Amino acid sequence: MNLEFYRPYFTKDYLMGPNSLRVLKELLDKNPKSLGADSLILDLGCGTGLTSFALCRETGAKVLANDLWISGEENAARFATWGVGDCVTPVHENADNLNFEKESFDAIVSIDSYHYFAGKEGYFQEKILPFLKSGGVALLGVPGIKEEYDEQTIELLFPWLGKEAYMFRSVRQWKKILGEDPDMVSVEVFELDCFEAAWQDWLVMDNQFAKGDAACWEQIIRLYTNFVGMIVRKK
Protein backbone atom coordinates (compact mmCIF):
# COMPACT_ATOMS: atom_id res chain seq x y z
CA MET A 1 0.00 0.00 0.00
CA ASN A 2 1.57 3.25 -1.14
CA LEU A 3 0.52 5.90 1.40
CA GLU A 4 1.64 8.68 -0.96
CA PHE A 5 -1.30 7.91 -3.25
CA TYR A 6 -3.67 8.72 -0.37
CA ARG A 7 -1.95 11.93 0.78
CA PRO A 8 -4.57 14.19 -0.92
CA TYR A 9 -7.18 12.46 1.28
CA PHE A 10 -5.37 13.28 4.55
CA THR A 11 -7.65 16.26 5.16
CA LYS A 12 -10.01 17.45 7.88
CA ASP A 13 -12.94 16.32 5.74
CA TYR A 14 -11.91 12.66 5.88
CA LEU A 15 -9.65 12.09 8.90
CA MET A 16 -11.54 11.61 12.19
CA GLY A 17 -8.46 11.12 14.35
CA PRO A 18 -4.92 9.73 13.99
CA ASN A 19 -4.38 8.69 10.37
CA SER A 20 -6.46 5.53 9.93
CA LEU A 21 -4.63 4.62 6.72
CA ARG A 22 -1.29 4.32 8.48
CA VAL A 23 -2.90 1.94 10.98
CA LEU A 24 -4.56 -0.01 8.17
CA LYS A 25 -1.31 -0.30 6.21
CA GLU A 26 0.55 -1.71 9.20
CA LEU A 27 -2.18 -4.27 9.87
CA LEU A 28 -2.41 -5.28 6.20
CA ASP A 29 1.38 -5.68 6.06
CA LYS A 30 1.14 -8.11 9.00
CA ASN A 31 -2.04 -9.80 7.77
CA PRO A 32 -1.58 -13.56 7.43
CA LYS A 33 -4.44 -13.99 4.91
CA SER A 34 -4.34 -12.82 1.32
CA LEU A 35 -7.38 -10.83 0.25
CA GLY A 36 -8.37 -10.52 -3.40
CA ALA A 37 -11.18 -9.89 -5.85
CA ASP A 38 -13.22 -12.82 -4.55
CA SER A 39 -13.00 -11.64 -0.92
CA LEU A 40 -15.65 -9.82 1.10
CA ILE A 41 -14.47 -7.43 3.82
CA LEU A 42 -16.47 -5.73 6.56
CA ASP A 43 -15.02 -2.34 7.59
CA LEU A 44 -16.57 -1.92 11.03
CA GLY A 45 -16.85 1.67 12.29
CA CYS A 46 -15.43 3.03 9.02
CA GLY A 47 -16.28 6.67 9.74
CA THR A 48 -15.94 8.63 6.50
CA GLY A 49 -14.92 5.43 4.72
CA LEU A 50 -11.31 6.25 3.92
CA THR A 51 -10.18 2.79 5.03
CA SER A 52 -12.99 1.17 3.00
CA PHE A 53 -11.77 3.06 -0.07
CA ALA A 54 -8.20 1.85 0.53
CA LEU A 55 -9.27 -1.75 1.24
CA CYS A 56 -11.08 -1.85 -2.10
CA ARG A 57 -8.18 -0.25 -4.02
CA GLU A 58 -5.48 -2.33 -2.38
CA THR A 59 -7.11 -5.75 -2.45
CA GLY A 60 -9.79 -5.58 -5.15
CA ALA A 61 -12.19 -7.09 -2.61
CA LYS A 62 -15.80 -6.07 -2.17
CA VAL A 63 -16.16 -4.01 0.99
CA LEU A 64 -19.13 -3.34 3.24
CA ALA A 65 -18.46 0.03 4.89
CA ASN A 66 -20.34 0.06 8.17
CA ASP A 67 -20.69 3.02 10.47
CA LEU A 68 -23.04 4.26 13.18
CA TRP A 69 -22.46 8.03 13.40
CA ILE A 70 -22.18 8.66 9.64
CA SER A 71 -25.08 7.83 7.38
CA GLY A 72 -24.94 5.37 4.51
CA GLU A 73 -26.14 8.11 2.12
CA GLU A 74 -23.28 10.41 3.06
CA ASN A 75 -20.69 7.66 2.61
CA ALA A 76 -22.31 6.45 -0.65
CA ALA A 77 -21.84 9.93 -2.14
CA ARG A 78 -18.16 9.90 -1.14
CA PHE A 79 -17.57 6.41 -2.56
CA ALA A 80 -19.12 7.47 -5.88
CA THR A 81 -16.87 10.57 -5.99
CA TRP A 82 -13.82 8.45 -5.19
CA GLY A 83 -14.72 6.04 -8.03
CA VAL A 84 -15.31 2.99 -5.81
CA GLY A 85 -19.11 3.04 -5.75
CA ASP A 86 -19.24 -0.42 -7.42
CA CYS A 87 -16.88 -2.01 -4.94
CA VAL A 88 -17.77 -0.39 -1.60
CA THR A 89 -21.29 -0.58 -0.20
CA PRO A 90 -22.24 1.58 2.78
CA VAL A 91 -24.21 0.04 5.65
CA HIS A 92 -25.50 1.71 8.75
CA GLU A 93 -25.61 -0.76 11.64
CA ASN A 94 -24.73 -1.00 15.28
CA ALA A 95 -21.78 -3.35 15.84
CA ASP A 96 -23.63 -4.74 18.85
CA ASN A 97 -26.32 -6.17 16.63
CA LEU A 98 -25.05 -6.88 13.13
CA ASN A 99 -27.55 -8.21 10.62
CA PHE A 100 -25.40 -10.20 8.24
CA GLU A 101 -25.40 -13.85 7.28
CA LYS A 102 -23.13 -15.85 9.55
CA GLU A 103 -19.70 -16.73 8.02
CA SER A 104 -19.93 -13.95 5.41
CA PHE A 105 -16.58 -12.22 5.64
CA ASP A 106 -13.01 -13.10 4.70
CA ALA A 107 -11.89 -10.18 6.85
CA ILE A 108 -13.39 -7.85 9.42
CA VAL A 109 -11.37 -4.66 9.76
CA SER A 110 -11.92 -2.04 12.44
CA ILE A 111 -9.69 1.00 12.84
CA ASP A 112 -9.97 3.43 15.75
CA SER A 113 -13.49 2.33 16.59
CA TYR A 114 -13.44 -1.15 18.21
CA HIS A 115 -12.70 0.35 21.67
CA TYR A 116 -16.04 2.23 21.60
CA PHE A 117 -18.14 -0.90 21.61
CA ALA A 118 -16.06 -4.05 22.16
CA GLY A 119 -14.14 -3.62 25.40
CA LYS A 120 -15.90 -6.51 27.13
CA GLU A 121 -14.78 -10.12 27.51
CA GLY A 122 -16.87 -12.41 25.30
CA TYR A 123 -17.74 -9.66 22.80
CA PHE A 124 -15.46 -10.95 20.05
CA GLN A 125 -16.75 -14.52 20.37
CA GLU A 126 -20.40 -13.46 20.41
CA LYS A 127 -20.58 -10.47 18.07
CA ILE A 128 -17.65 -10.73 15.64
CA LEU A 129 -16.39 -14.30 15.26
CA PRO A 130 -19.68 -15.75 13.91
CA PHE A 131 -19.52 -13.41 10.89
CA LEU A 132 -16.04 -14.52 9.80
CA LYS A 133 -15.68 -17.34 7.31
CA SER A 134 -13.52 -20.28 8.24
CA GLY A 135 -9.92 -19.11 7.67
CA GLY A 136 -11.02 -15.47 7.95
CA VAL A 137 -9.18 -12.80 9.84
CA ALA A 138 -10.02 -9.82 12.05
CA LEU A 139 -7.66 -6.83 11.81
CA LEU A 140 -8.26 -4.37 14.64
CA GLY A 141 -6.43 -1.17 15.58
CA VAL A 142 -7.32 0.90 18.63
CA PRO A 143 -5.73 3.68 20.65
CA GLY A 144 -4.47 2.27 23.94
CA ILE A 145 -2.13 2.80 26.87
CA LYS A 146 1.55 1.88 27.01
CA GLU A 147 1.44 0.65 30.60
CA GLU A 148 -1.29 -0.03 33.10
CA TYR A 149 -1.04 2.74 35.64
CA ASP A 150 -3.34 1.06 38.19
CA GLU A 151 -6.10 3.37 39.39
CA GLN A 152 -4.09 6.26 37.99
CA THR A 153 -4.86 5.43 34.33
CA ILE A 154 -8.19 7.22 34.23
CA GLU A 155 -6.80 10.10 36.29
CA LEU A 156 -3.90 10.59 33.85
CA LEU A 157 -6.05 10.49 30.72
CA PHE A 158 -9.09 12.30 32.14
CA PRO A 159 -8.00 15.87 31.32
CA TRP A 160 -7.82 14.80 27.66
CA LEU A 161 -10.55 12.17 27.31
CA GLY A 162 -12.98 12.87 30.14
CA LYS A 163 -15.39 9.97 30.63
CA GLU A 164 -14.01 8.10 27.59
CA ALA A 165 -10.69 7.45 29.39
CA TYR A 166 -11.79 3.96 30.47
CA MET A 167 -11.78 2.81 26.81
CA PHE A 168 -7.98 2.96 26.63
CA ARG A 169 -6.40 -0.38 27.46
CA SER A 170 -2.93 -1.92 27.29
CA VAL A 171 -1.77 -4.77 25.02
CA ARG A 172 -2.13 -7.16 27.97
CA GLN A 173 -5.67 -5.97 28.75
CA TRP A 174 -6.79 -6.28 25.10
CA LYS A 175 -5.39 -9.80 24.95
CA LYS A 176 -7.50 -10.68 27.99
CA ILE A 177 -10.59 -8.94 26.56
CA LEU A 178 -10.28 -10.83 23.24
CA GLY A 179 -10.00 -14.06 25.20
CA GLU A 180 -10.01 -17.53 23.73
CA ASP A 181 -12.20 -19.84 21.71
CA PRO A 182 -11.54 -23.13 19.94
CA ASP A 183 -12.28 -21.28 16.67
CA MET A 184 -9.72 -18.52 17.40
CA VAL A 185 -6.63 -20.35 16.13
CA SER A 186 -4.31 -17.40 16.42
CA VAL A 187 -4.52 -14.18 18.44
CA GLU A 188 -1.78 -11.58 18.14
CA VAL A 189 -1.89 -8.34 20.12
CA PHE A 190 0.96 -5.83 19.80
CA GLU A 191 1.92 -2.16 19.80
CA LEU A 192 1.79 -0.54 16.37
CA ASP A 193 4.86 1.26 15.02
CA CYS A 194 2.87 3.97 13.23
CA PHE A 195 1.68 5.73 16.43
CA GLU A 196 3.76 8.90 16.09
CA ALA A 197 3.29 9.34 12.31
CA ALA A 198 -0.46 8.66 12.48
CA TRP A 199 -0.86 11.29 15.20
CA GLN A 200 1.32 13.88 13.44
CA ASP A 201 -0.91 13.66 10.32
CA TRP A 202 -3.93 14.45 12.51
CA LEU A 203 -2.48 17.11 14.82
CA VAL A 204 -1.84 19.54 11.95
CA MET A 205 -5.48 19.48 10.82
CA ASP A 206 -7.44 22.73 11.07
CA ASN A 207 -10.18 21.14 13.13
CA GLN A 208 -11.36 21.88 16.68
CA PHE A 209 -10.89 18.24 17.79
CA ALA A 210 -7.36 18.10 16.37
CA LYS A 211 -6.54 21.39 18.12
CA GLY A 212 -7.82 19.98 21.43
CA ASP A 213 -5.67 16.86 20.92
CA ALA A 214 -2.64 19.00 20.00
CA ALA A 215 -2.94 20.79 23.35
CA CYS A 216 -2.67 17.39 25.13
CA TRP A 217 -0.07 15.78 22.84
CA GLU A 218 3.18 16.34 24.75
CA GLN A 219 1.85 16.02 28.30
CA ILE A 220 -0.61 13.14 27.91
CA ILE A 221 -1.03 11.45 24.53
CA ARG A 222 2.64 10.98 23.65
CA LEU A 223 3.65 10.13 27.22
CA TYR A 224 1.04 7.54 28.12
CA THR A 225 -0.72 6.22 25.03
CA ASN A 226 0.02 4.00 22.03
CA PHE A 227 -1.85 2.22 19.26
CA VAL A 228 -2.72 -1.43 19.81
CA GLY A 229 -3.00 -3.82 16.87
CA MET A 230 -4.90 -7.11 17.07
CA ILE A 231 -4.95 -9.89 14.49
CA VAL A 232 -7.26 -12.85 15.10
CA ARG A 233 -7.50 -15.78 12.72
CA LYS A 234 -10.52 -18.10 12.62
CA LYS A 235 -10.13 -21.85 12.26
Ligand X SMILES: C[S@@+](CC[C@H](N)C(=O)[O-])C[C@H]1O[C@@H](n2cnc3c(N)ncnc32)[C@H](O)[C@@H]1O
Q: For residue 156, give the amino acid letter.
A: L
| Out of 26, 106, 112, 213, the residue judged to bind ligand X by CB under 6 A | 112
| Out of 11, 71, 80, 94, the residue judged to bind ligand X by CB under 6 A | 94
Candidates 26-34, 113-121, 191-199, 206-214 — which segment interacts with ligand X by CB under 6 A?
113-121
φ/ψ of residue 213, rounded to 5: -65, -40
- The Cα–Cα gap between 75 and 101 comes to 23
Asked whether the beta carbons of 153 and 124 are under 8 A apart, the reply is no
Query: In angstroms, what CA-CA distances link 134 with 88, 97, 114?
Result: 23, 21, 22
- Decide if residue 95 touches ligand X (CB under 6 A): yes
128: CB partners within 8 A, 6+ apart? 108, 118, 138
DSSP-assigned letter for residue 97:
G
- Closer to ligand X at the Cβ: 47 or 229? 47
- Closer to ligand X at the Cβ: 9 or 149? 9
- The Cα–Cα gap between 232 and 136 comes to 9
| Out of 20, 59, 170, 225, the residue judged to bind ligand X by CB under 6 A | 20
Binding residues for ligand X, total number by CB under 6 A: 19
Query: In angstroms, what CA-CA distances link 32 with 44, 84, 230?
Result: 19, 25, 12
At its nearest, how many Å lie between ligand X and the CB of residue 48? Answer: 6
At its nearest, how many Å lie between ligand X and the CB of residue 212? Answer: 13
Query: Interface mask (CB under 6 A) for ligand X, residues 44-83, using x and -?
Result: -xxx---x---------------xxxx-------------
At its nearest, how many Å lie between ligand X and the CB of residue 17? Answer: 5
Asked whether the beta carbons of 16 and 48 are under 8 A apart, the reply is yes
Asked whether the beta carbons of 108 and 131 are under 8 A apart, the reply is yes
- Closer to ligand X at the Cβ: 67 or 106? 67
Query: Interface mask (CB under 6 A) for ligand X, residues 118-157, using x and -?
Result: ----------------------------------------
- The Cα–Cα gap between 14 and 112 comes to 14
At its nearest, how many Å lie between ligand X and the CB of residue 93? Answer: 7
Residues that bind ligand X (CB under 6 A): 16-17, 20, 45-47, 51, 67-70, 94-96, 111-113, 116-117
